[in-house]
């Protein structure tokens, strides 16, 4: 869908569908809840609703861990709206009553209960469902459903285990999947999943149509990566590199980097099809959205690739990259044992002896299980069968020794990344190569030679990344009418802003991170200097809320030092009063200031808007978070509104406060977006 034209800079609310709560929803937000929510948005002066991903994620609550790039999540279906639901109204009402007063929604329970009720409805009404022609027509319009239905039925028969654990059909051909879809004996089970998706599609499209009729745009979120246990990775393995996993390199917050566990794309094979899988994915999204957020857009430039079997993100490299060749290392004297010295970890006996409580003989015994000794030296190399960290973790060695060996495993200067056309090994430096034992053993001249080699490769990498992103993103963004927006956070290469501007993709500005990091004191960037071709926001789903940042992360000091209220007509002493505690008055001041950003879109998480009313303050701002990165629990991704949307709309003070915050923004004429 095409993004509508607004006469003023756009303001949006970011909210997960599951967080919505109405008088009709059943324990979790549902697509049809967007209709009353659009009424609330219109009343408060909001122009856009931004959602988290809404694809089926199976047993996982994270919306970024999808089982399908195309299928919608059954949890968002309003059961009582289905004609087949009439005999089951009491059960549906009982489900709603059971979960009505929960602060966060019970993801797995609600999913299981909704699917169980849907199965009952389907069984009772199957003949009508499969013979009235609607489902057949919908299937013809949505050919992706065949792979998804076959996959989900197999997954159900395997008790929802990963397809990598199935006893058969782990690597089916496309013809085998098609034959299974056409098998009359399995038709009923397959059509059950197709029927659910048809119902979801209808409700979501109806909700978006109602939003559109009220002048409210809808913005979706497209995760860049796919779960390795997804229908897409199972049915189309040619589009994925199963030998490599995506993640991020070490940084100040993650000393070992991150391994997200998602296979990276095989861009060569995708390119050969004209990126048809990705284009179809965007076209499917365009059924529902006027704009879309491309999650981790930096991955289209380069992705941090980690060999399958590594648990952390430490031993990775960027894909694509300009490799260091064996010949280039040989020219610098790295052949034979000297090449081995920088490629393989050389582990002193003392490393394991220390982890083994000082037991020298015991250390030798432990090391012989996974390593070979170098002659009579107290120095060891890992055996050939130890290929990754997982192989060390799989041994029967004590955990303390495993940890010591894993630490030693990372102590290498370069990594093998592949082979060239002639079969010679290609290499890349490790992220922490300057901290390795090998690096410490070199002379200044040797280090200088290697630094020049590596830095030269890094300069070439930038051109590779630029060319890849221009090709892929250029193809994808022109395939749909939706307005493209980027999540371009993290360590952003210098080439990125130019490519985004060239392709008309709006960058993301999270104000607390929009600073002049290279300058003394790292001052904040002026709000009137934000690029118009950008999306400004107060917080993101992985961060604290504005209140949490203010109260727990020194946000008040940082904000008030940059934007002292006395400079905007407030009386003396206001800064000290605002610093003491985050209140609705403080929230109004902060949001007003940030709404003045010159970005064409200003998107605020709903929690930051709700802070304008004292009625919605949780005991701790931590309770208002959507997700806490690095943690896996029932808390993450299960945020719910503190009241129903109908109650929010009747809260006159909240509505008035939101309109006041957005007044100047709505009165400011928008400029033409290039």
Report residue 252's pLDDT band, with 50, 70 and 90 as the boundaries: confident
DSSP label of 562: H
Count of other CB atoms within 10 angstroms of residue 652: 8
Q: Residues of the chain with pLDDT > 70: what percent?
A: 99
Average pLDDT score over residue span 342-365: 94
Containing structural domain, residue 393: 317-462
Answer yes or no: is 379 within a domain: yes
Determine the Cα–Cα distance for residues 587 and 163; give it in Å rounded to an integer: 48
CA angle 295, 299, 305 (to 5 degrees): 125
Number of domains composing the chain: 1
Answer yes or no: is 182 within a domain: no
Give the model confidence (pLDDT) of 153-210 as tens digits: 999 999 999 999 999 999 999 999 999 999 999 999 999 999 999 999 999 999 999 9
Three-state DSSP at 304 gives strand
- Say if residue 81's pLDDT is above 80: yes
Answer yes or no: is 378 within a domain: yes
Count of other CB atoms within 10 angstroms of residue 644: 18
Answer yes or no: is 382 within a domain: yes
Q: 641 CB contacts (<8 Å, ≥6 apart)?
A: 19, 20, 21, 606, 610, 648
Answer yes or no: is 190 within a domain: no
pLDDT at 254: 87
- Say if residue 123's pLDDT is above 50: yes
Range from 140-144, 248-252, 591-595 carrying the lowest mean pLDDT? 248-252
- Say if residue 670's pLDDT is above 80: no
pTM over 0.85: yes
CB 388 within 8 A of CB 309: yes
Q: Residues of the chain with pLDDT > 90: what percent?
A: 96
Q: Tell me the C-alpha to C-alpha distance, in Å, between residue 464 and each of 263, 323, 475.
A: 21, 12, 17
- Say if residue 308's pLDDT is above 80: yes
Helix (H) or strand (E) holding 367: helix 360-370
pLDDT at 671: 62
pLDDT at 88: 96
Answer yes or no: is 570 within a domain: no
Query: Concatenated DSSP letters for 390-438?
Result: HHHHTSSS-HHHHHHHHHHHT--SEEEEEE-TTS-EEEEE-TTGGGSHH
Give the model confidence (pLDDT) of 434-454 as tens digits: 999 999 999 999 999 999 999
Determine the Cα–Cα distance for residues 89 and 97; give it in Å rounded to an integer: 12
Answer yes or no: is 642 within a domain: no
CB 443 within 8 A of CB 452: no
């Amino acid at each position: 869908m095409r993004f509508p034209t607004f006469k003023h800079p756009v303001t949006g609310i970011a909210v997960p569908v599951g967080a919505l709560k109405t008088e009709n929803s059943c324990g979790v937000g549902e697509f049809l809840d967007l209709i009353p929510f659009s009424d609330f948005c219109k009343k408060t002066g909001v122009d856009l609703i931004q959602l988290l991903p809404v694809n089926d994620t199976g047993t996982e609550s994270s919306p970024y861990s999808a089982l399908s790039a195309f299928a919608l999540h059954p949890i968002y279906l309003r059961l009582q709206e289905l004609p087949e639901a009439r005999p089951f109204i009491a059960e549906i009402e009982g489900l709603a009553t059971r979960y009505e007063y929960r602060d966060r929604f019970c993801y797995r329970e609600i999913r299981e209960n909704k699917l169980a009720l849907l199965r009952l409805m389907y069984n009772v009404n199957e003949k009508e469902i499969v013979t009235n022609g609607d489902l057949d027509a919908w299937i013809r319009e949505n050919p992706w459903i065949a792979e998804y239905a076959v996959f989900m039925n197999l997954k159900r028969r395997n008790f929802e285990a990963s397809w990598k654990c199935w006893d058969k059909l782990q690597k089916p051909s496309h013809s085998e999947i098609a034959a299974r879809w056409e098998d009359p004996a399995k038709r009923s089970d397959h059509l059950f999943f197709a029927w659910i998706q048809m119902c979801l599609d209808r409700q979501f499209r109806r909700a978006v149509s109602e939003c559109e009729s009220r002048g409210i745009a809808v913005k979706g979120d497209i995760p860049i990566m796919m779960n390795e246990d997804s229908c897409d990775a199972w049915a189309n393995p040619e589009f994925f590199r199963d030998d490599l996993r995506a993640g991020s390199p070490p940084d100040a917050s993650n000393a070992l980097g991150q391994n997200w566990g998602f296979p990276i794309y095989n861009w060569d094979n995708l390119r050969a099809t004209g990126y048809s899988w990705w284009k179809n994915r965007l076209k499917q999204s365009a059924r529902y959205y006027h704009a879309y957020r491309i999650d981790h857009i930096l991955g289209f430039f380069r992705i941090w690739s980690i060999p399958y079997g590594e648990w952390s993100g430490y031993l990775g490299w960027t894909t694509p990259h300009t490799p260091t060749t064996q010949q280039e290392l040989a020219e610098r004297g790295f052949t034979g044992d000297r090449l081995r010295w920088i490629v393989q970890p050389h582990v002193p006996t003392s490393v394991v002896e220390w982890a083994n409580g000082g037991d020298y003989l015991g250390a030798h015994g432990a090391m012989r299980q996974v390593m070979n000794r170098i002659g009579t030296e107290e120095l060891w190399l890992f055996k050939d069968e130890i290929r990754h960290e997982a192989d060390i973790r799989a041994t029967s060695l004590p955990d303390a020794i495993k940890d010591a060996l894993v630490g030693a495993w990372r102590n290498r200067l370069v990594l093998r990344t592949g082979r060239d056309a002639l079969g010679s090994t290609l290499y890349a430096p490790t992220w922490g190569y300057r901290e390795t034992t090998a690096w410490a053993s070199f002379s200044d001249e040797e280090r200088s030679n290697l630094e020049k080699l590596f830095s030269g490769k890094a300069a070439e990498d930038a051109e590779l990344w630029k060319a890849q992103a221009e090709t892929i993103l250029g193809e994808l963004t022109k395939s749909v009418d939706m307005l493209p927006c980027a999540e371009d956070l993290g360590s952003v290469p210098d080439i990125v802003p130019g490519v985004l501007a060239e392709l008309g993709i709006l960058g993301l500005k999270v104000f607390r991170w929009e600073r002049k990091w290279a300058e003394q004191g790292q001052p904040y960037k002026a709000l009137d200097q934000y690029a118009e071709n950008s999306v400004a926001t107060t917080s993101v789903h992985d961060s604290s809320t504005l209140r949490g940042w203010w109260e727990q992360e020194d946000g008040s000091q940082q904000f008030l030092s940059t934007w002292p209220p006395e400079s905007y007509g407030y009386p003396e002493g206001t800064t000290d009063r605002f610093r003491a505690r985050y209140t609705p008055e403080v929230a109004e001041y902060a949001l007003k200031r940030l709404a003045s950003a010159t970005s064409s879109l200003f998107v605020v998480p709903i929690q930051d808007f709700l802070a304008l009313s004292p009625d919605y303050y949780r005991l701790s701002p931590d309770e208002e978070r959507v997700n806490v990165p690095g943690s896996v629990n029932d808390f993450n991704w299960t945020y719910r509104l503190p009241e129903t949307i109908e109650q929010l709309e009747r809260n006159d003070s909240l509505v008035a406060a939101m309109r006041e915050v957005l007044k100047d923004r709505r009165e400011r004429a928008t400029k033409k977006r290039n």
